[in-house]
Amino acid sequence: MFTKTKSKKNNNPLNKWLIYAAVIAIFWLKMYFIQGSIFTLDVENANEAAILAFNPLSSIFLLFGLGILLAGRKGLLATYIFGSVLLYVNVLFYREYNDFITIPMLGQVANLAGLGSSITNILSLTDVFLFVDVFAAVFLLFYLKPTRFQSFMPKRREGFVLAVIAIPLFLANLAWAETERTDLLERAFDRNMLVKYIGVINYHVYDIVLQGQTEMKKTFADSNELVPALNYLNENKTEPNSEMTGVAEGKNVIALSLESTQTFVVDNEVNGEELTPYFNDLKEEGAYFNNFYHQVKQGRTSDSEFILDNSMYGLNRGAAFFTHSGNEYEATPEVLGENGYTSTNMHANDKSFWNRNVMYDSLGYDEFYSKEDYDVTEEKSYGWGYLDEYFFSDSLDKMEELEQPFYNKMITLTNHHPFTLPEDKKYIEEGDTSSGTLNRFFQTIRYQDEALKQFVEDFKESDLYDDTVLVIYGDHFGISENHQQAMGEYLDKDINEYEQFQLQRVPLLMIGEGIEPQENDTVGGQIDLRPTIMNLLGVEDDNPVQFGQDLFSEDRREMMITRDGDFASDEYVGVKGSCFDRETGEEVEGSACEPGFEQAEEELGLSDSIVYGDLLRYLDETEMIEEEMNETGQQED
Ligand code: GP9
Ligand code: MN
């Protein structure tokens, strides 16, 4: 009797499809809410808003369809929970990074430990509401067990049908999205844009496909693939400033990376107090670059290191430090090593963070002084770890023992999100903008400046000073787009795309014998550091695969390309398809930026082909062939 009723209800298609519709609609609403209200995806018009509302649908059909196909009702429940957790993980990640997770980033779990102090900042009590539907479903299915649900038995072929419907839905989504941006999937530098157009779950599917392609690239790469990059670099080559060549010959180099330090803090104040009083004076003693940009992406500090040491771009997905630590490189430490230099890294964090211990070997460093080499105690630590002042003093002691000449990279840590400090290290009051993050950032910046002062003053007293070039630069932004409004309050202007782009400038200061004090406004980026340093040292750097140019060169190409395919040239700033006059910030005719965007795309593509294909392993071979060709050419002449 019971079985009979059950099968009868089971056969009630209306009831069943109503439940399907309800499940899909609830998940759709949730995803719509997250994409529209938690992510900040820059929806610019009604068409985009409609695409954003529509785009969850195909992924929901695919996800639930596959769940049902594989395991019927249980499969549906499992994929519902999986989908909800996936959305929530994206919410957390987005709050921290303003970006979406990529597969290579999943390999970076080692870094999550370091997130400890930030995680409480990104959780919100109201997040529980994002799981109300899941709790309700579990409660209904396992406790209330209404007969209507007991008899809801999805058939596998129905799952198949749902999954197949996902295909036209996705194609419709894509065609619609392409009305806003053509070749969306081919020109996908910006994950925020991708998610805006195809939705966060489809984005993950896309990312998986991309990962497969990436793996293939390396497997099937061959030496010919290096040729386009070599040709391009040859055509775009400019000569370094010959007057600066070798002014610092045989000197030590300290590359000092300041955590999360942006140019807007220089010569600026809060509540009448200077944020970087020491740096403001120090910059008068060397060459200070005020149009210098960071170029990092998901690999953050590690990307800045990658760019510094290779003069190649970091990757758009993941951190090359993790994903391509097995590649062959011909980086600064190796080239300097051939010229008698010792190369070291000093950073008082876990040595495996950003996979540094592995990558530093690949880059050719002789020694890495990490957390275990410092006197890290609880009293001397806070937040992310060892406070900068102690890091600096221990590092100076170590440096005095190094064999000279040396190339030593130092990386500070205290001025890191969430920007917290012990009470007695807060030298100024918090800011009073609407962002706690920005308000605290002012204090940690001020602290870092004090630590810098102690370091540089001690360094000036040491024997090292006369024999060393000090290169101080910011690694990347500290205040993300999420705090645009507060930045606007602080800077007293509306932070539009242009201003947001300009906020990506980081300070660069070079001090040393032969470097004339100057405020230099050339447009450049971290990619230019290596050729600039090499020219000062007068070292013959014969690795032709470098995208940067000497910052002191008179005929350098003034061009800085970001990992998003945006750029700043001497005249324009091109951001997300819009074009601005670089100096005035006025929006100009889009066509003015077309050549810049094209060049950015080409250059990033070439740099990527090298990293993804591990093409530097063919460098010697390719150069030999080129030399032979040149020789034959000359003989024929
Ligand atoms: C960690 C430090 C900070 O060791 O370099 O890393 P970040 O989060 O800025 O990339
Ligand atoms: Mn950093």
> Tens digits of per-residue pLDDT, 60-94?
999 999 999 999 999 999 999 999 999 999 999 89
Give the 3-state secondary structure of residue 98: coil
Question: Nearest bound ligand to CA 117?
Answer: 1
Dihedral sign for Cα 320, 322, 323, 328, please: positive
The CATH classification number of 240-546 equals 3.40.720.10
Question: Nearest bound ligand to CA 302?
Answer: 1
In ligand 1, which atom is closest to the CA atom of 349? Answer: 4
Task: Give the residue numbers annotated as catalytic, written as ranges.
Answer: 301
Distance 20 CA to ligand 2 centre (A): 46
Q: Are strands 381-382 and 385-386 parallel, antiparallel or unpaired?
A: antiparallel
Query: Is the backbone of residue 98 left (phi > 0), alpha (psi -120 to 50) or beta?
Result: left
**pLDDT given for residue 111 in this prediction:** 67
Nearest CA to ligand 1 atom 5: 301
Over the stretch 413-448, which tens digit does the pLDDT of each residue have?
Answer: 999 999 999 999 999 999 999 999 999 999 999 999
Give the separation between CA 386 and CA 180, rounded to whole angstroms: 48
Neighbours of 195 (CB within 10 A): 24
Over the stretch 220-267, which tens digit does the pLDDT of each residue have?
Answer: 889 999 999 999 999 999 999 999 999 999 999 999 999 999 999 999
Pocket lining: 300 vs ligand 1, CB cutoff 6 Å: yes
Question: Nearest bound ligand to CA 475?
Answer: 2
Question: Nearest bound ligand to CA 114?
Answer: 1
Distance in Å from the first CA to the final CA of the chain: 99
Give the 3-state secondary structure of residue 361: helix
Nearest CA to ligand 1 atom 9: 301
Pocket lining: 371 vs ligand 1, CB cutoff 6 Å: no
Confidence of residue 2 (pLDDT cuts 50, 70, 90): very low
Confidence of residue 39 (pLDDT cuts 50, 70, 90): very high
Distance 387 CA to ligand 2 centre (A): 15
Give the separation between CA 570 and CA 548, rounded to whole angstroms: 15
Pocket lining: 345 vs ligand 1, CB cutoff 6 Å: no
Pocket lining: 315 vs ligand 1, CB cutoff 6 Å: no
Pocket lining: 416 vs ligand 1, CB cutoff 6 Å: yes
Pocket lining: 257 vs ligand 1, CB cutoff 6 Å: no
Confidence of residue 9 (pLDDT cuts 50, 70, 90): very low
CA 637 to chain centroid: 49
Confidence of residue 597 (pLDDT cuts 50, 70, 90): very high
Over the stretch 516-526, which tens digit does the pLDDT of each residue have?
Answer: 999 999 999 99
Pocket lining: 353 vs ligand 1, CB cutoff 6 Å: yes
Does residue 416 contact residue 260 with C-beta atoms inside 8 Å?
A: yes
Nearest CA to ligand 1 atom 3: 301
Distance 461 CA to ligand 1 centre (A): 30
In ligand 1, which atom is closest to the CA atom of 303? Answer: 10
Picking from 449, 477, 111, the residue whose alpha carbon sits closest to that of residue 278 is: 449
Pocket lining: 576 vs ligand 1, CB cutoff 6 Å: no
Does residue 50 contact residue 36 with C-beta atoms inside 8 Å?
A: no
Distance 354 CA to ligand 1 centre (A): 8
Average pLDDT across the chain, whole number: 92
Task: Name the residue of 346, 352, 414, 416 to mutate for ligand 1: max ligand atoms within 8 A of Cβ.
Answer: 416
Confidence of residue 632 (pLDDT cuts 50, 70, 90): low
For 470, the token pair is 């000090």
For 599, the token pair is 């060049």
For 131, the token pair is 């799981």
Helix 594-613 and helix 226-235: axis angle, to 10°? 140
0.75 surpassed by pTM: yes
Confidence of residue 584 (pLDDT cuts 50, 70, 90): very high
CATH 3.40.720.10 positions along the chain are 240-546
Task: Name the residue of 121, 349, 391 to mutate for ligand 1: max ligand atoms within 8 A of Cβ.
Answer: 349
Pocket lining: 301 vs ligand 1, CB cutoff 6 Å: yes
Does residue 487 contact residue 255 with C-beta atoms inside 8 Å?
A: no
Pocket lining: 151 vs ligand 1, CB cutoff 6 Å: no
Mean pLDDT over 26-53 rounds to 95
Q: Are strands 468-474 and 273-274 parallel, antiparallel or unpaired?
A: unpaired
**pLDDT given for residue 594 in this prediction:** 97
In ligand 1, which atom is closest to the CA atom of 301? Answer: 10
Over the stretch 160-184, which tens digit does the pLDDT of each residue have?
Answer: 999 999 999 999 999 999 998 878 8
**pLDDT given for residue 635 in this prediction:** 55
Give the 3-state secondary structure of residue 508: strand
Q: b/e map of 340-355 (b: 16 or more CB within 10 Å)?
A: ebbbbbbbbbbbebbb
Nearest CA to ligand 1 atom 6: 301
Residue-by-residue DSSP string for 264-296: GGTT-EETTEESSHHHHHHGGGSEEESSEE---
Distance 300 CA to ligand 2 centre (A): 6
| Range scoring the smallest mean pLDDT among 117-126, 240-249, 269-278, 320-329 | 117-126
Beta strands in 307-444 (DSSP E): 342-346, 367-369, 381-382, 385-386, 406-411
Does residue 561 contact residue 567 with C-beta atoms inside 8 Å?
A: yes
Does residue 550 contact residue 536 with C-beta atoms inside 8 Å?
A: no
Does residue 346 contact residue 395 with C-beta atoms inside 8 Å?
A: yes
